[in-house]
Structure 1
Amino acid sequence: MTEQTPLAIIVLAAGKGTRMKSDLHKVLHPIAGRPMVGHLMASAAELSPQRQVVVAGHGREQLEKALGGSATIAVQDPQLGTAHAVQQAEGALAGFEGDVLILYGDVPFVRAETMRAMIARLHENDAPAAVVLGFAPADTLQYGRVIAEDGRIVKMVEHKDATDEERACRVCNSGLMAVRSADLFGLLARVGNDNAQGEYYLPDVVNIAIADGRTCAVIVTDDADEVAGINSRAELAEAEGRWQLRRRAQAMADGATLIAPETVWFSWDTVLGRDVTVEPNVFFGPGVTVADGVTIHAFCHLEGATLSPGVHIGPYARLRPGAKLEEDVKVGNFVEVKNTVMHRGAKASHLTYLGDAEVGAEANIGAGTITCNYDGYFKYKTTIGERAFIGSNSALIAPVKIGADAIVAAGSAVSRDVADGELRMVRAEQLVKPGWADRFHDAMKKKKAEKRG
């Protein structure tokens, strides 16, 4: 792609995805917390396309909602093959003059550099009518073949229609293609369906161009996983595994320590700083940023959280969206934090829920403390001042403010503000009955003996 040549992206996503056995559109199934089509379009976005068209069929409404207007939706109904699918984008590309890159929504991991290589090949001196992305898998299975000599395509053939000699070719067709808009729809209009499936195949535009005496080219990716399609839950899990494997390796290369890498699961947007230590069985959901020098102990779950330098969390901690932990904060075992800022040096070491709260610097939250932030209709905020001490098994009933240096006695249920430096004790008066327990035990033992007799 040159600076003078605009680019359009066509993503084919009209398949029913029956093997997924799901009400969710196939290309919206997530990998690392992001829909597979989102991975693909993020890579395509690096090429700054002027237009993006997603060809949909089943589940069109789901796609429209997920894409949020970032692409034009074209509808293929009925589904008559890949060439027919691309034709449905013609209206959306009316008046467009430039290069067109044809991608597949269930092939999510095509790299931006691969896309650029396809476009660059389209602009080489021999000016190919089309550029096909090929790959050479260990097992060629049922893939269509690209018969080529020195990178120039002689013939494209579907597996069902190929001869034994053609099936011996190791270069397979990924389905991805780059074509000039001036050529694309004219070639598509000439595609027929005289084949084993009675469908209109996109690769036939290459055969038609070759028959016209034009050159078509193939470039071959060195990573077959890059063009692996996802058609079932098992293939989705395999794709997740491959993505996680690469992300773990990248995290360690960037300076993080993963004690047991195979047990750590990242999201597509997880950010880890240097000298971060991640112990086994940690799960990162979307929206987590971890600064340098953080320690995440085993069995933690993080989502939508920001951790500043020197933070320690876990084991068995849960950080939910809106959790913001400033420098040297400690969140211990079985502590849950949601939509809460914990300022520098604050601690919640055991068995605590902090929701919709602000915890002041150096404050200490005792074991079993909860912020009662929801009344069944609305959420309310709890504010805890600097250096405040909240005793164990306390309930802070929002909206409520605990002042700086204040102490809340263990077992208190606090529903009114506590002033700076104040002690608040909210307990029923203890009732003492000397000898009552001894008399109770004697009576019950006698009753039990009489029942046995």
Structure 2
Amino acid sequence: MSDLVTVILAAGKGTRMKSKLPKVLHKAGGKTMLQHVIDAAKAAGAKRNIVVTGFGGEMVREAIGAQAEFVTQTEQLGTGHAVLQTKELLKDETGTVMVLCGDTPLLTGALLKKLYDEHVAAAAKATVLTAIMPDATGYGRIIRSADGSVEKIVEHKDATEEERKVREVNSGIYCFAAKDLFEALSHVTNDNAQGEYYLPDVLEILKKRGEKIWAVAADDYEDTLGINSRLQLAGAEKILRRRKNEELMSEGVTIMDPATTYIDDDVKVGRDTIIYPMTWLEHGTVIGEECEIGPNVRFQDVKCGNRVTGQFIYAHECQIDDDVKLGQFVHLRPNTHLFEGVKIDNFIEVKNSNIGKGSK
């Protein structure tokens, strides 16, 4: 069994979002950013996930529920201080603690598993997830030793001209040996301009002790991107939609125009189904095989059988069985069940109804 535990930092307000909602609860690809991170951690094999909350903590806890354990960072005094809040919960852990950011919805389970596996294989006390950025301006640079280990992480403003040419940067995601993490955290100070306790200082402390600090580079820098504004959120949304469309097309679904097709992460679509442009398939929706859906269809939590056809439709919280034909400008409201072979004409609204097999 994996000895991996994650600590997910989700205490910040996200002032650049200009929102009453905690930043990590903004959605991309049909799920909150925090949910994407938790799902990636689970896929990587984490046995426990601990979320550090702060601003809007009650909303975060309500949104995530029993999927994670929670601690509160009453004052936002830096990343090191945030991780320190989990010390009591993790006092008996002897394995690996992976520190994640709740505003990184593009992380994948495969990437986090790669980080964990290489951390263990390297027998490092700490491992940094890095990215090779097209433009590294503003990022902390990873300076490696000849053996590939991390010599230091230098902030952009402190880097020499030669160091600024390095495009490998710190993603802010780490693996630590649990006992060493909390022992080193006890020595981190807030002697800096912001008066905060920084998690990267742990690396410096461990390095001075002669411990091995490793680094693992993501295959695609996009996977590591953090979201700090609505503009960046829209960028993440585009990437997640592209990934989902590519996944479905590789499984035998025809998407006529991926640029105008919006499919949430948890949606399932059967092979040989054709999705026409300007179609939204949202949370909870399942589409069977050999269907023709769209153009201009919006399905929310719709369970749809095989060989269903429909265009210019809005349907939500309903069930559509095999071989149903839907006319144009149909509205299917909650608790509607269309049985096999039903035909619905144009400009029809159905609510709280069971329409029997073969009905027209």
Count of matched residue pairs: 358
Paired residue for 2:51, among 47, 50, 54? 54
Secondary structure of the 1:265 match is strand
Output the CA distance in 2 between the equivalents of 1:164 and 1:88: 38
Q: Structure 2 vs 1, CA of residues 297 and 170 (structure 1 numbering), >3 Å: closer, same or farther?
A: closer
Output the CA distance in 1 between the equivalents of 2:345 and 2:167: 59
Higher mean displacement: 172-181 or 67-76:
67-76
Aligned 1:368-407 pairs, distance under 5 A: none
- Is the counterpart of residue 181 in structure 1 residue 178 in structure 2? yes
Output the CA distance in 2 between the equivalents of 1:24 and 1:277: 37
State the identity as a percent. 36
Output the CA distance in 2 between the equivalents of 1:73 and 1:19: 25
Aligned 1:78-97 pairs, distance under 5 A: 78-97=75-94
- Is the counterpart of residue 305 in structure 1 residue 302 in structure 2? yes
Deviation at 1:24, TM superposition (A): 0.9
Deviation at 1:194, TM superposition (A): 3.3
Question: What is the letter of the counterpart of residue 127 of structure 2?
Answer: V
Normalising by structure 2, report the TM-score.
0.96
Between the two structures, name the one with larger relative contact order (CA 8 Å, sep ≥ 6): 2
Q: Structure 2 regions of 5+ residues with no counterpart?
A: none
Output the CA distance in 2 between the equivalents of 1:326 and 1:158: 58
Deviation at 1:202, TM superposition (A): 1.1
Deviation at 1:121, TM superposition (A): 2.2
- What's 1:225 paired with? 222
- Is the counterpart of residue 327 in structure 1 residue 322 in structure 2? yes
Normalising by structure 1, report the TM-score.
0.76
- What's 1:122 paired with? 119
What is the alpha-carbon root mean square deviation over aligned residues?
A: 1.4
Output the CA distance in 1 between the equivalents of 2:302 and 2:98: 37
- Is the counterpart of residue 214 in structure 1 residue 211 in structure 2? yes
Deviation at 1:97, TM superposition (A): 2.2
Aligned 1:46-445 pairs, distance under 5 A: 46-124=43-121, 127-149=123-145, 150-314=147-311, 316-321=312-317, 323-338=318-333, 339-364=335-360
Deviation at 1:94, TM superposition (A): 2.5
Output the CA distance in 1 between the equivalents of 2:187 and 2:161: 27
Output the CA distance in 1 between the equivalents of 2:192 and 2:219: 30
Deviation at 1:84, TM superposition (A): 1.2
- Is the counterpart of residue 6 in structure 1 residue 9 in structure 2? no
Output the CA distance in 2 between the equivalents of 1:350 and 1:77: 56
Q: Structure 2 vs 1, CA of residues 196 and 167 (structure 1 numbering), >3 Å: closer, same or farther?
A: farther
Q: Structure 2 vs 1, CA of residues 84 and 165 (structure 1 numbering), >3 Å: closer, same or farther?
A: farther
Output the CA distance in 1 between the equivalents of 2:101 and 2:266: 22
Question: What is the letter of the counterpart of residue 249 of structure 1?
Answer: E
- What's 2:18 paired with? 21
Secondary structure of the 1:107 match is coil
1:229-254 CA-partner distances (Å, limit 9, x unpaired)? 00110100010011111222222222
1:11-31 CA-partner distances (Å, limit 9, x unpaired)? 001111000011111001111
1:50-80 CA-partner distances (Å, limit 9, x unpaired)? 3221111111111110111322221223212
